[in-house]
């Protein structure tokens, strides 16, 4: 499963169960991560968003070509 574009910078969880609906249950309140420790949802960096977009594109292109996607960071 690919990470959502707007997932947390530290733990890759989305802010809400359905990001389009502000009234859904929050998925990310306080979470623990070995690097960040206890943290609230933090927006991803522009570099993280770009990397996630590239990963999605690679999976899409691989599916069209009938091959496995290359390993992504």
Q: Which residue has the tokens 């990397």?
A: 51
Model confidence pTM above 0.95: no
Residue 48's contacts (CB-CB under 8 Å, 6 or more residues apart) are 9
Q: Residue 37 — left, alpha, or beta (φ > 0 → left; ψ -120 to 50 → alpha)?
A: left
pLDDT in tens, 5-54: 988 999 888 877 665 666 666 667 778 888 888 888 889 999 999 999 99
């Amino acid at each position: 499963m690919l990470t959502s574009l707007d997932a947390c910078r530290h733990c890759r969880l989305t802010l809400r169960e359905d990001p389009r609906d502000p009234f859904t249950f929050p998925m990310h309140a306080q979470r623990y991560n070995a690097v960040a420790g206890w943290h609230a949802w933090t927006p991803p960096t522009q570099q993280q968003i770009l990397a996630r977009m590239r990963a999605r594109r690679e999976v899409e292109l691989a599916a069209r070509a009938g091959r496995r996607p290359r390993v992504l960071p």
